[in-house]
């Protein structure tokens, strides 16, 4: 048992789903997984010697009243949205700031920037950081100038929502069907970007002064059949019983030469700093046959459950899970809530 300096009272905030059955919509599975993440964080905080308490966020009005009574020392922020809407991830972090309660993870501006994939791409382009060519559609496509194949996905979601096994598109008819379907389902702009054939890497970063790149992870596509998509689809990420999940294990540390490793680390840090990353985050990239790197997105506050990719990178770096959780709490307590 680690002897703490003070018995911090830590609220573990996460988005509650109002008991909605998971099978109503496969997309709910990724949101439901936050409960497992909260449990792992709870156990780590107990191991440190602090006082954790679950704080499921279902109704901000009632939760606001609870916060006024509880007055926690710090919030461990695992909220990925509110009432099924990912757009509110940034707003909940903003609520902790308005209340003046220190909290872990990225700030509201970074959460909002990263969730808006189109805006993120514009920022990457402004700094000449390579990202796949793209178009955005708010209605059925008419003019399209990107060479096939391409990938279509909601422009303001995360956790691979909307990216299923049929995500790779090979002709205009498929594009019409896919974009129209996504527009109807997600009620938001649809991002269509050039599919980069090649390797996929996840690069985890531990903040803050200075930020540190953890061992690089690669999604291993070697076990896939020739006709199976070489992407991290929703099935491959969230459905353990699905063949694609089983055939696409992550390898960390990734088997890369020193030159590519350094370039991956450098570009990940550029993205982290550009989007004002804080505490922890992950940069997802594709690398083509000529070893050109294309940034897909920055994932602030990625899944940090003990079996997730970020924890895998921590283990590869020799960092104990509870040490990482303690680091995040110390970072939160050592700054003003709006830093």
CATH of the domain at 223: 3.30.470.20
Answer yes or no: do 178 and 285 share one domain: no
What backbone torsions phi and psi does residue 147 show, to the nearest 5 degrees? -70, 140
Segments forming the whole domain that contains residue 145: 134-194
- 143 and 202, same structural domain? no
Q: Cα–Cα distance between 304 and 323 in angstroms, integer?
A: 13
* C-beta of residue 104 within 8 angstroms of C-beta of residue 77: yes
The domain total for the chain is: 3
How many angstroms separate the CA atoms of 291 and 50, rounded?
A: 46
Return the CATH number at 92.
3.40.50
Cβ count near 272 (within 10 Å): 24
Residues 59 and 18 grouped into a single domain: yes
For residue 1, tell me if it sits in a domain: no
* Residues 122, 25 share a domain: no
Among 148, 165, 194, the domain boundary falls at 194
Q: Is 259 a domain residue? A: yes
Question: In terms of Cα–Cα distance, which of 157, 160, 132, 163 is closest to 295?
Answer: 132
Residue 67 lies in a domain: yes
Shared domain for 170 and 245, answered yes or no, is no
Cα 258 from Cα 124, distance rounded (Å): 24
Instruction: State the pTM of this model.
Output: 0.91
Asked if 248 and 117 sit in the same domain, the reply is: yes
Domain assignment present for 335:
no
CATH of the domain at 150: 3.30.1490
pLDDT tens-digit series, residues 292-326: 999 999 999 999 999 999 999 999 999 999 999 99
- Is residue 2 one of the residues assigned to a domain? no
Domain match, 126 and 265 both? yes
- Check whether residue 303 and residue 248 sit in a common domain: yes
Instruction: Mark whether 257 and 208 lie in a shared domain.
Output: yes
Is residue 338 in some structural domain?
A: no
**Domain limit, last residue, from 194, 211, 232:** 194
The two tokens of residue 255 are: 């088997």
Q: What is the pLDDT of residue 23?
A: 44
Q: Which residue has the tokens 């083509």?
A: 288
Task: Say if residue 145 is in the same domain as residue 219.
Answer: no
Strands 9-15 and 74-77 turn out to be parallel
Q: Is residue 279 part of a domain?
A: yes
> Domain for residue 4, yes or no?
no
> What does the pLDDT profile of the chain (339 residues) look like in tens digits?
555 455 889 999 998 866 554 444 555 555 567 888 999 999 999 999 999 999 999 888 888 788 878 889 999 999 988 887 788 899 999 999 988 999 999 999 999 999 999 999 999 999 999 999 999 999 999 999 999 999 998 888 776 676 777 788 999 999 999 999 999 988 999 999 999 999 999 999 999 989 999 999 999 988 888 888 888 766 666 667 676 777 888 999 999 999 999 999 999 999 999 999 999 999 999 999 999 999 999 999 999 999 999 999 999 999 999 999 999 999 999 986 555
Does residue 300 share a domain with residue 206? yes
For residue 22, count other CB atoms closer than 10 A to its CB.
Answer: 13
Together in a domain, 307 and 204: yes
CA distance 43 to 74: 16
Q: Which of 194, 210, 243 is the last residue of a domain?
A: 194
Question: Can you spell out the DSSP letters for 74-105?
Answer: EEEE----BTTBGGGHHHHHHHHHHHT--B-S
Judged by DSSP in three states, 84 sits in coil
């Amino acid at each position: 048992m680690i002897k703490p300096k003070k018995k911090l009272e830590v609220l573990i905030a996460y988005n509650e789903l109002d008991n909605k059955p998971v099978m109503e919509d496969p997309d709910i599975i990724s949101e439901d997984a936050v409960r497992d993440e909260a449990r792992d964080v709870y156990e780590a905080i107990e191991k440190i010697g602090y006082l954790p308490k679950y704080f499921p966020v279902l109704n901000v009005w009632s939760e606001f009243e609870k916060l006024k009574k509880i007055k926690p020392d710090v919030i461990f922020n695992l909220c990925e949205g509110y009432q099924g809407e990912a757009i509110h991830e940034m707003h909940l972090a903003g609520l902790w700031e308005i209340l003046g309660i220190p909290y872990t993870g990225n700030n509201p501006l970074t959460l909002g920037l990263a969730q808006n994939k189109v805006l993120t791409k514009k920022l990457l382009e402004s700094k000449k950081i390579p990202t796949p060519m793209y178009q955005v559609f708010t209605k059925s496509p008419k003019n399209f100038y990107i060479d096939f194949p391409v990938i279509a996905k909601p422009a303001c979601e995360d956790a691979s929502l909307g990216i299923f096994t049929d995500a790779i598109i090979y002709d205009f008819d498929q594009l019409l069907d896919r974009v129209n379907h996504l527009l109807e389902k997600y009620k938001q702009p649809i991002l269509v970007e050039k599919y980069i054939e090649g390797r996929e890497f996840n690069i985890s970063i531990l903040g803050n002064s200075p930020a540190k790149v953890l061992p690089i992870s690669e999604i291993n596509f070697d076990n896939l059949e020739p006709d199976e998509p070489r992407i991290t689809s929703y099935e491959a990420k969230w459905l353990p019983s699905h063949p694609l999940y089983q055939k696409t294990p992550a390898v960390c540390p990734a088997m890369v030469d020193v030159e590519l490793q350094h370039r991956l680390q450098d570009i990940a840090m550029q993205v982290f700093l550009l989007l004002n990353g804080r505490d922890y985050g992950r940069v997802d990239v594709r690398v083509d046959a000529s070893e050109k790197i294309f940034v897909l997105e920055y994932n602030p506050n990625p899944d940090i459950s003990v079996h997730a990719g970020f924890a895998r990178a921590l283990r590869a770096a020799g960092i104990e899970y509870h040490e990482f959780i303690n680091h995040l709490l110390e970072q939160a307590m050592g700054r003003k809530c709006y830093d």
